[in-house]
A and B are shown apart, each in its own frame.
Chain A
Amino acid sequence: GAGVSQTPSNKVTEKGKYVELRCDPISGHTALYWYRQSLGQGPEFLIYFQGTGAADDSGLPNDRFFAVRPEGSVSTLKIQRTERGDSAVYLCASSSNRGTEGYTFGSGTRLTVV
């Protein structure tokens, strides 16, 4: 597609529920990244995929967070047993190289846990 697409744009969920956030990267981009942005802060790295595999998941805060990219294109970020502290904007980005070529962000999913 023309850009990085993220769905849903907004998600409100109750504490303890499970959520899935979707990212559709730019066609042909092999690298895909998830970041989390809290209010008034810069984006914080969560996980990086090169193709289908997670090349770096050092930013995932705990084992409630998991992400997949089974076919090397669309990625899903999954959060189990959501907590109020998980509320943030979750940004996805993709690039054709290791972060230096066409690193483009999606519009994000605003997650609110009530």
Chain B
Amino acid sequence: GENVEQHPSTLSVQEGDSAVIKCTYSDSASNYFPWYKQELGKRPQLIIDIRSNVGEKKDQRIAVTLNKTAKHFSLHITETQPEDSAVYFCAALNTGTASKLTFGTGTRLQVTL
């Protein structure tokens, strides 16, 4: 089955700096890669996703890149703000044969003033 690894486990940046979180996946058939933000005690919320037919997607301060050959994808947050502090999870899915998301272990992002 699919295996998703995520790094780093914790990340501290100063407000205004950029943050990058990286994930690798094992199943070359995976073709959908969402990112979730989870604040303490709350539900995971989808912030951005990318499909395997594109290499990059951007939504305001958030961008995701995908390298299918290397089987890794990354989340980039620019101009970080204190409200970006949360745990971020990457996930992978093969939409052709499965419906279960396989999640990474999460990255706790702390944006300091």
Contact = CB atoms under 8 A, between A and B. Distances in A.
Interface string B89-107: 1010101001111111110
- Interface residues of B toward A: which range? 20 to 34
Q: Majority SS of interface residues in chain B? A: strand
B100 A100 contact: no
Given A42-B104, A48-B100, A55-B99, A91 B93 contact: no
A99 B43 contact: no
A82 to B, nearest CB: 22
Contacts of B105: 40-42
B95 A100 contact: yes
A33 B103 contact: no
Interface residues of A, number: 25
Nearest to A110: B41
A31 interface: yes
B106 A42 contact: yes
Interface in A68-95: 91
A10 to B, nearest CB: 11
A99 B101 contact: yes
B100 A33 contact: yes
